[in-house]
């Protein structure tokens, strides 16, 4: 998804329409590679404005992530809009772009996958769960409690710590 900005920069064209549906294996976010299980769809345009090149696009795709509780795979659909200026590294200064998002490019081309990797973080669901009522994993034996019941909690109840002074009492009642 590398787009040449040459014609825009030479003002041969005012805008460039972007309409992609591309198969991409993984997307990197927070040093982790997420597998894409749908094509990456991107629709929008890059326009020549008096402040520079401006990208306005909608993206959607589905990644594979893990349930925060039980660690099973979860398909996560992601859909959002990207807006921001495309700026050559040497032209970038924080002051003129402080009110806008800016994406840096070099060699007259912008890599839209990189732009998505820079913006995906703000658009990921805060907590990813396989289902709202996911029971998670047993903290003792690691069993997936959605699929099986382990006996850890029963054992824990049986071995409830009893103050030794009361243990004697308990024995007395037992013999009663």
Judged by the rule CB under 5 A, the positions of this chain that interact with Zn ion are 67, 69-70, 130, 134, 138, 140-141, 143, 150, 152
Q: 52-66 and 32-36: which strand pairing?
A: antiparallel
Q: Which helix (H) or strand (E) holds 151?
A: none
Distance CA 147, CA 151 (A): 13
In the complex, minimum distance from the CB of residue 26 to Zn ion, in angstroms, rounded to a whole number: 22
In the complex, minimum distance from the CB of residue 129 to Zn ion, in angstroms, rounded to a whole number: 6
Nearer to Zn ion, 141 or 162 (CB): 141
Listed in sequence order, the residues at least 6 apart from 162 whose beta carbon sits closer than 8 Å to its beta carbon are 170
Nearer to Zn ion, 141 or 169 (CB): 141
Report yes or no: 56 and 44 within 8 Å, Cβ to Cβ.
yes
In the complex, minimum distance from the CB of residue 158 to Zn ion, in angstroms, rounded to a whole number: 14
In the complex, minimum distance from the CB of residue 20 to Zn ion, in angstroms, rounded to a whole number: 33
Nearer to Zn ion, 48 or 69 (CB): 69
Nearer to Zn ion, 155 or 169 (CB): 155
Annotate 84-136 with DSSP letters as a single string.
EEEEEGGG--TTTTTTS-EEEEBTTEEEHHHHHHHHGGGGS-SS--SSTT---
């Amino acid at each position: 998804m590398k787009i040449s900005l040459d014609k825009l920069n030479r003002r041969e064209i005012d805008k460039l329409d972007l309409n992609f549906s591309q198969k991409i294996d993984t997307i990197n976010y927070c040093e982790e590679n997420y597998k894409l299980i749908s094509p990456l769809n991107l629709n929008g345009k890059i326009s020549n404005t008096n402040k520079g090149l401006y990208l306005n696009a909608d993206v959607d795709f589905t990644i594979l992530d893990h349930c925060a509780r039980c660690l099973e795979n979860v398909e996560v659909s992601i859909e959002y809009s990207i807006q921001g200026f495309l700026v050559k590294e040497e032209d970038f200064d924080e002051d003129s772009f402080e009110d806008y998002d800016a994406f840096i490019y070099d060699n007259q081309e912008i890599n839209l996958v990189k732009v998505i990797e820079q913006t995906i973080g703000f658009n990921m669901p805060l907590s990813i769960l396989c289902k709202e009522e996911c029971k998670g994993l047993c903290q003792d034996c690691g069993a997936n409690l959605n699929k099986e019941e382990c006996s850890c909690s029963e054992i824990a109840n049986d071995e409830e710590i009893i103050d030794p002074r009361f243990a004697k009492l308990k024995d007395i009642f037992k013999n009663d």
